[in-house]
Amino acid sequence: MRARIVCLAAITTLAMSLAAAAQEPPPDIRVVNGLSVDLAPLNKWLVDRQGDRPLKHWMQIQVGEIKEPVATWQRCVVKGEIGELTILLDNLPQSVIDFLQHSGELHAEIRNLTAEIESKQSALNRAGAKAADANNATGAPTFAPNYYVIGGETAKAQLEDMRTKLEHLQARYSALMGQAVESTTVLAMNTGRTYSNLPIWDCGAKK
Protein backbone atom coordinates (compact mmCIF):
# COMPACT_ATOMS: atom_id res chain seq x y z
CA MET A 1 0.00 0.00 0.00
CA ARG A 2 2.78 2.36 0.99
CA ALA A 3 4.63 1.56 -2.25
CA ARG A 4 1.53 2.42 -4.25
CA ILE A 5 1.20 5.77 -2.47
CA VAL A 6 4.87 6.56 -3.05
CA CYS A 7 4.48 5.62 -6.71
CA LEU A 8 1.41 7.84 -7.12
CA ALA A 9 3.20 10.74 -5.40
CA ALA A 10 6.17 10.34 -7.72
CA ILE A 11 3.91 10.29 -10.77
CA THR A 12 2.07 13.39 -9.55
CA THR A 13 5.34 15.23 -8.93
CA LEU A 14 6.62 14.28 -12.37
CA ALA A 15 3.39 15.40 -14.01
CA MET A 16 3.54 18.75 -12.20
CA SER A 17 7.18 19.21 -13.22
CA LEU A 18 6.37 18.46 -16.85
CA ALA A 19 3.42 20.86 -16.79
CA ALA A 20 5.58 23.60 -15.30
CA ALA A 21 8.28 22.99 -17.89
CA ALA A 22 5.70 23.15 -20.68
CA GLN A 23 4.62 26.60 -19.44
CA GLU A 24 8.16 27.95 -19.45
CA PRO A 25 8.98 29.99 -22.58
CA PRO A 26 11.75 28.68 -24.82
CA PRO A 27 15.18 30.32 -24.59
CA ASP A 28 15.47 33.63 -26.44
CA ILE A 29 19.20 34.29 -26.60
CA ARG A 30 20.33 37.69 -27.88
CA VAL A 31 23.88 38.89 -28.37
CA VAL A 32 24.71 42.59 -27.84
CA ASN A 33 28.31 43.79 -27.93
CA GLY A 34 29.51 40.20 -27.71
CA LEU A 35 27.51 39.47 -24.55
CA SER A 36 24.67 36.94 -24.51
CA VAL A 37 21.42 37.41 -22.62
CA ASP A 38 18.35 35.17 -22.41
CA LEU A 39 15.14 37.18 -22.75
CA ALA A 40 12.93 34.21 -21.86
CA PRO A 41 12.17 35.54 -18.33
CA LEU A 42 11.06 38.86 -19.82
CA ASN A 43 8.94 37.12 -22.45
CA LYS A 44 7.23 35.18 -19.65
CA TRP A 45 6.67 38.29 -17.56
CA LEU A 46 5.12 40.13 -20.52
CA VAL A 47 2.54 37.35 -20.73
CA ASP A 48 1.58 36.87 -17.07
CA ARG A 49 2.85 40.14 -15.46
CA GLN A 50 3.63 38.24 -12.26
CA GLY A 51 6.28 39.55 -9.85
CA ASP A 52 8.96 42.13 -10.59
CA ARG A 53 9.78 42.93 -14.20
CA PRO A 54 13.09 41.30 -15.17
CA LEU A 55 15.65 42.84 -17.52
CA LYS A 56 14.31 46.37 -17.07
CA HIS A 57 16.74 47.82 -19.60
CA TRP A 58 15.07 45.79 -22.35
CA MET A 59 11.96 47.54 -23.65
CA GLN A 60 9.03 46.40 -25.76
CA ILE A 61 8.62 48.74 -28.73
CA GLN A 62 6.50 48.75 -31.88
CA VAL A 63 8.12 49.81 -35.15
CA GLY A 64 5.67 52.01 -37.05
CA GLU A 65 7.88 53.22 -39.88
CA ILE A 66 11.30 52.50 -41.31
CA LYS A 67 12.98 55.50 -42.91
CA GLU A 68 16.22 55.84 -44.83
CA PRO A 69 19.02 53.92 -43.06
CA VAL A 70 21.79 55.77 -41.27
CA ALA A 71 25.20 54.13 -41.51
CA THR A 72 24.62 50.49 -40.49
CA TRP A 73 21.38 51.11 -38.57
CA GLN A 74 17.73 51.23 -39.48
CA ARG A 75 16.21 54.64 -38.75
CA CYS A 76 12.81 53.86 -37.26
CA VAL A 77 9.83 55.66 -35.81
CA VAL A 78 8.79 53.61 -32.78
CA LYS A 79 6.34 53.77 -29.91
CA GLY A 80 5.74 51.82 -26.75
CA GLU A 81 7.26 51.83 -23.30
CA ILE A 82 9.66 54.58 -24.38
CA GLY A 83 6.95 56.81 -25.83
CA GLU A 84 7.04 57.74 -29.51
CA LEU A 85 10.34 58.79 -31.04
CA THR A 86 12.81 58.22 -33.85
CA ILE A 87 15.74 55.93 -33.09
CA LEU A 88 18.51 54.03 -34.81
CA LEU A 89 17.88 50.32 -34.47
CA ASP A 90 20.40 47.52 -34.87
CA ASN A 91 19.56 43.87 -35.58
CA LEU A 92 15.94 44.64 -36.51
CA PRO A 93 14.35 41.29 -37.46
CA GLN A 94 13.88 40.84 -41.21
CA SER A 95 10.29 39.78 -40.57
CA VAL A 96 9.47 43.28 -39.31
CA ILE A 97 11.08 44.87 -42.36
CA ASP A 98 9.18 42.53 -44.69
CA PHE A 99 5.85 43.18 -42.96
CA LEU A 100 6.17 46.96 -43.14
CA GLN A 101 7.30 46.81 -46.76
CA HIS A 102 4.40 44.57 -47.74
CA SER A 103 1.80 46.63 -45.88
CA GLY A 104 3.21 49.85 -47.37
CA GLU A 105 3.05 48.46 -50.90
CA LEU A 106 -0.52 47.24 -50.37
CA HIS A 107 -1.58 50.61 -48.96
CA ALA A 108 -0.03 52.41 -51.93
CA GLU A 109 -1.84 50.07 -54.34
CA ILE A 110 -5.15 50.86 -52.64
CA ARG A 111 -4.45 54.60 -52.75
CA ASN A 112 -3.51 54.54 -56.44
CA LEU A 113 -6.48 52.39 -57.43
CA THR A 114 -8.86 54.64 -55.49
CA ALA A 115 -7.52 57.69 -57.34
CA GLU A 116 -7.84 55.89 -60.68
CA ILE A 117 -11.46 54.94 -59.96
CA GLU A 118 -12.30 58.53 -59.03
CA SER A 119 -10.65 59.79 -62.22
CA LYS A 120 -12.51 57.32 -64.46
CA GLN A 121 -15.82 58.03 -62.72
CA SER A 122 -15.34 61.76 -63.30
CA ALA A 123 -14.54 61.12 -66.97
CA LEU A 124 -17.65 58.95 -67.26
CA ASN A 125 -19.80 61.65 -65.71
CA ARG A 126 -18.38 64.30 -68.04
CA ALA A 127 -18.96 62.08 -71.08
CA GLY A 128 -22.58 61.55 -70.06
CA ALA A 129 -23.15 65.26 -69.53
CA LYS A 130 -21.53 66.08 -72.88
CA ALA A 131 -23.76 63.58 -74.70
CA ALA A 132 -26.85 65.03 -73.01
CA ASP A 133 -25.86 68.57 -74.02
CA ALA A 134 -25.36 67.42 -77.63
CA ASN A 135 -28.80 65.81 -77.72
CA ASN A 136 -30.42 68.91 -76.29
CA ALA A 137 -28.69 71.10 -78.87
CA THR A 138 -30.20 69.03 -81.72
CA GLY A 139 -33.65 69.12 -80.23
CA ALA A 140 -33.68 65.35 -79.84
CA PRO A 141 -35.00 63.72 -76.66
CA THR A 142 -32.55 64.05 -73.78
CA PHE A 143 -30.17 61.09 -73.69
CA ALA A 144 -27.36 60.60 -71.19
CA PRO A 145 -25.56 57.27 -71.67
CA ASN A 146 -24.37 55.35 -68.63
CA TYR A 147 -21.10 54.37 -70.28
CA TYR A 148 -18.75 55.07 -73.11
CA VAL A 149 -16.42 52.72 -74.92
CA ILE A 150 -12.63 52.66 -74.34
CA GLY A 151 -10.49 50.07 -76.10
CA GLY A 152 -13.41 47.78 -76.79
CA GLU A 153 -14.61 47.71 -73.16
CA THR A 154 -17.14 49.98 -71.56
CA ALA A 155 -15.97 52.36 -68.87
CA LYS A 156 -18.80 51.15 -66.68
CA ALA A 157 -17.57 47.55 -66.85
CA GLN A 158 -14.03 48.70 -66.17
CA LEU A 159 -15.16 50.61 -63.10
CA GLU A 160 -17.06 47.62 -61.75
CA ASP A 161 -13.97 45.44 -62.12
CA MET A 162 -11.80 48.05 -60.47
CA ARG A 163 -14.18 48.47 -57.54
CA THR A 164 -14.26 44.70 -57.03
CA LYS A 165 -10.48 44.62 -57.02
CA LEU A 166 -10.40 47.53 -54.56
CA GLU A 167 -12.72 45.69 -52.18
CA HIS A 168 -10.44 42.65 -52.26
CA LEU A 169 -7.36 44.79 -51.62
CA GLN A 170 -9.05 46.57 -48.72
CA ALA A 171 -10.05 43.24 -47.18
CA ARG A 172 -6.47 41.98 -47.45
CA TYR A 173 -5.12 45.19 -45.94
CA SER A 174 -7.61 45.07 -43.06
CA ALA A 175 -6.61 41.47 -42.29
CA LEU A 176 -2.93 42.42 -42.47
CA MET A 177 -3.40 45.34 -40.09
CA GLY A 178 -4.97 42.95 -37.62
CA GLN A 179 -1.52 41.37 -37.34
CA ALA A 180 0.39 44.66 -37.19
CA VAL A 181 1.04 44.90 -33.46
CA GLU A 182 2.25 41.32 -33.15
CA SER A 183 4.29 41.50 -36.36
CA THR A 184 6.08 44.79 -35.62
CA THR A 185 6.65 44.63 -31.86
CA VAL A 186 10.17 43.79 -30.74
CA LEU A 187 12.34 43.81 -27.64
CA ALA A 188 15.29 46.17 -27.74
CA MET A 189 17.69 47.89 -25.39
CA ASN A 190 19.16 51.37 -25.42
CA THR A 191 22.91 51.03 -25.92
CA GLY A 192 23.52 54.46 -24.42
CA ARG A 193 25.24 55.58 -27.63
CA THR A 194 24.04 58.13 -30.17
CA TYR A 195 24.75 58.89 -33.81
CA SER A 196 23.58 62.00 -35.66
CA ASN A 197 21.78 63.01 -32.47
CA LEU A 198 19.69 59.83 -32.52
CA PRO A 199 19.82 57.19 -29.77
CA ILE A 200 21.08 53.76 -30.84
CA TRP A 201 18.99 50.79 -29.76
CA ASP A 202 19.73 47.12 -30.36
CA CYS A 203 17.37 44.15 -30.70
CA GLY A 204 20.37 41.87 -30.29
CA ALA A 205 21.51 39.23 -32.74
CA LYS A 206 19.53 36.04 -32.21
CA LYS A 207 21.49 32.86 -31.55
> 102 and 157, same structural domain?
yes
> 116 and 85, same structural domain?
no
> 171 and 198, same structural domain?
no
pLDDT-derived band at 25 (thresholds 50, 70, 90) equals: confident
> 120 and 67, same structural domain?
no
The domain tally of the chain equals: 2
Residue 128: inside a domain: yes
Q: What domain range includes position 76?
A: 28-92+185-206
Residue 7: inside a domain: no
Task: Please determine, for residue 93, whether its predicted confidence score (pLDDT) is greater than 80.
Answer: yes
Task: Please determine, for residue 3, whether its predicted confidence score (pLDDT) is greater than 70.
Answer: no
pLDDT-derived band at 132 (thresholds 50, 70, 90) equals: low
* Range name among 92-96, 147-151, 174-178 with the lowest pLDDT average: 147-151
> 118 and 57, same structural domain?
no
Residue 196: inside a domain: yes
Residue 152: inside a domain: yes
> 169 and 106, same structural domain?
yes
Cα distances from 162 to residues 3, 159, 178, in angstroms, run 76, 5, 24
Q: What is the pLDDT of residue 201?
A: 98
> 102 and 172, same structural domain?
yes
Q: Who has greater pLDDT, 189 or 131?
A: 189
Q: Who has greater pLDDT, 80 or 124?
A: 80
Q: What is the pLDDT of residue 151?
A: 40
> 170 and 151, same structural domain?
yes
Mean pLDDT in residue range 143-154: 49
Residue 56: inside a domain: yes
> 69 and 35, same structural domain?
yes
Task: Please determine, for residue 149, whether its predicted confidence score (pLDDT) is greater than 60.
Answer: no
Nearest to 148 by CA among 123, 116, 117, 114: 123
Strands 74-80 and 58-66: antiparallel
Residue 76: inside a domain: yes
Residue 9: inside a domain: no
pLDDT-derived band at 144 (thresholds 50, 70, 90) equals: very low
> 173 and 107, same structural domain?
yes
